[in-house]
Structure 1
Amino acid sequence: MRAPIGSFEDACPAAERLGLLTAPVARAVEGGWGGVPAEQIIHVDTDPEIADTAAFVAHHGADLLRRSANCVVVAGKRGGEVTLAACLVLSHSRVDVNGAVRKHLGARKASFAPMETAVGETGMEYGGITPVGLPDGWPLLIDAAVVDEEWVLVGSGTRRGKLIITGKALAALPGAVVVESLGTGG
């Protein structure tokens, strides 16, 4: 199988590679969502040593920077309540944590969640966190620019491998809310 974006040597339907995914991601891929069949989710096997965006695009091509999205976990705080959420923005952008995220979560303060929290709560590896398979009830804030992309490269839950999914399929994920200007600087 040839990946719809990038020049990956090893691509196939993610449903055929459930063993390479973390348990929550494998369950989400296997079940599909929002009318998105598992066959439309593509897994590309990649070197975990170059999983970070800068190294990844240096190896696989700069054009992937505009077609890749980063998923980060944020914590919104109001009083004694903490709300965890995931944010998805194109890789050349930054999440507007103190503006769009804080406002959407109704938080007095918002910040990136500590690594231990992000990994522990998602069941995914740091550097591979993906919007696919997030904990039930979590808000998933997606920048509108991500949804506009035909194909988007995101994490796979591990540092080894990535998923390629349509922007519209990402917007159909459980808890997804499309937010204008969630990403800045892109």
Structure 2
Amino acid sequence: MPHDVRVTLPSLPSLSSLPAVEHPELVAPPVATALAGWAGAAEVAVVDIDPDLADTAAMSEAYGIPLTASGNCVIVSGVRAGDERIAACVVRADTRADVNTLVRKLLDVRKCSFHPMDRAVEETGMEHGGITPLGLPPAWRLLVHDALLDEPVVVVGSGVRRSKLLVPGRLLADLPGAEVVDGLGR
């Protein structure tokens, strides 16, 4: 990007936005690494929040953020012929990931369930309640709810509970490995 082009960071009225690439101390290490290597990162903001309010419902209420502007990242897995298949599903917070039908078919597994939280935390290097679609293990699929792409600002985890990332919805489709899925959230 030329130096004379200024990027306007996404913001929400109740939170102070900082450039995420300039504040790696506010995100988990794998997220900082992913931001440093992603062209879209210049348009991503990070905001400090109370870690006790990291869960979506509490955060939405405390900071006045509509659920339609939040993206929940859930990790699911299944096994096919001894091969474990894992996907991160980013869905609009007013919906739930269609794990038992759509995601199961996309992963081509007989049974799909939520990945054990202790494993998700260990394998991502992120905190419970802060797992985000940036900086995930490269072998994992990243499924993005199509409805999020229309949101001007989407709040997602930062890898830690004490902050969140603000991402223009359209950029979620540009995350490394992202697969936009119609109707992922129901």
Structure 1 segment 1-186 matched on structure 2, within 5 A? 4-32=10-38, 35-36=39-40, 38-61=41-64, 63-184=65-186
Question: CA–CA distance in 1 between the matches of 2:29 and 2:151?
Answer: 27
TM-score (norm 2): 0.91
Question: CA–CA distance in 1 between the matches of 2:161 and 2:9?
Answer: 19
Structure 1: 5+ residue stretches without partners: none
1:113 partner amino acid: H
Q: Please tell me whether the aligned partners of residues 6 and 64 of structure 1 are also in contact (alpha carbons under 8 angstroms).
A: no
Question: CA–CA distance in 1 between the matches of 2:155 and 2:130?
Answer: 12
Deviation digits for residues 68-125 of structure 1 (CA, Å, limit 9, x no counterpart): 0000111022232211110000001000000110011111110000111110111100
Deviation digits for residues 104-158 of structure 1 (CA, Å, limit 9, x no counterpart): 1111110000111110111100000000111113110011101222221100000
Q: Please tell me whether the aligned partners of residues 128 and 158 of structure 1 are also in contact (alpha carbons under 8 angstroms).
A: yes
Identity of aligned residues (%): 50
1:94 match: secondary structure: coil
Question: CA–CA distance in 1 between the matches of 2:156 and 2:58?
Answer: 15
Shift of 1:5: 4.1
2:138 match: secondary structure: coil
2:62 match: secondary structure: helix
2:150 partner amino acid: D
Structure 2: 5+ residue stretches without partners: 1-7
Shift of 1:3: 6.2
Matched residues, number: 179
Question: CA–CA distance in 1 between the matches of 2:176 and 2:9?
Answer: 25
Q: Please tell me whether the aligned partners of residues 22 and 158 of structure 1 are also in contact (alpha carbons under 8 angstroms).
A: yes
2:23 match: secondary structure: helix
Question: CA–CA distance in 2 between the matches of 1:149 and 1:75?
Answer: 27
Question: CA–CA distance in 2 between the matches of 1:77 and 1:103?
Answer: 12
The runs of at least 4 aligned residues of structure 1 exceeding 6 Å deviation read none
